[in-house]
Amino acid sequence: MYIATHLFNIEYSYNPCKPFTELPSCQGVAACQVSTDGKYSFSIGKQDSAKWNSGGIGGSPTVTYTDGPKILVVTLVCSKDGTDELEALGESSTNNYRMRLTNKCACWDGCGGGPQTTTKPQPTSKSGGVSFIGGTVFIVHLLIVNIVYSIGLIT
């Protein structure tokens, strides 16, 4: 979980991975705005509302969260030098919050490994040529041609 302080001594808590609770009022959230005296807390984004935007060519990827009228946009910044930082950029307009998360996991290859493949390669014949599936398709086509030819002879 990340915590960042912004102007007027307001703290922001953020967990990009799983929902968290921060008393008195933030429960099951992705991000929370908290007064420095701890008396007040407000959800600024629910974890289950996360929407990914790749940023397109030349842009930075973002994750957007909502909770009622509140919208939080977290810009992800790739860091290969080990920087791990959350910057609270504050409330740009009423109910519109911005943060910047700098971390190696914001890089396209950052956390390594990538998703595991669940697709198995198709088997091929010993000669390395035609695959089993290709042979099956050929046989099915041959049968269809044979049936159509036979029907043509009968009529």
| pLDDT tens, per residue, the chain with 155 residues | 656 555 567 889 999 989 999 888 899 999 999 888 888 899 999 999 999 998 888 888 999 999 999 999 999 999 888 889 999 998 889 999 999 999 988 887 777 655 555 444 544 545 554 444 555 555 655 556 556 555 655 65
Q: How far apart are CA 43 and CA 34, in angstroms?
A: 9
Domain housing 54: 2-106
User: How many domains does the chain divide into?
Assistant: 1
User: Are 106 and 77 a contacting pair, CB within 8 Å?
Assistant: yes
- Is 120 domain-assigned? no
Q: What CATH code is carried by the domain that includes residue 79?
A: 2.70.130.10
Report the relative pairing of strands 96-103 and 85-93 from DSSP bridges: antiparallel
- Is 115 domain-assigned? no
Indicate the residue type of 18. Answer: K
Helix (H) or strand (E) holding 27: strand 26-35
- Is 91 domain-assigned? yes
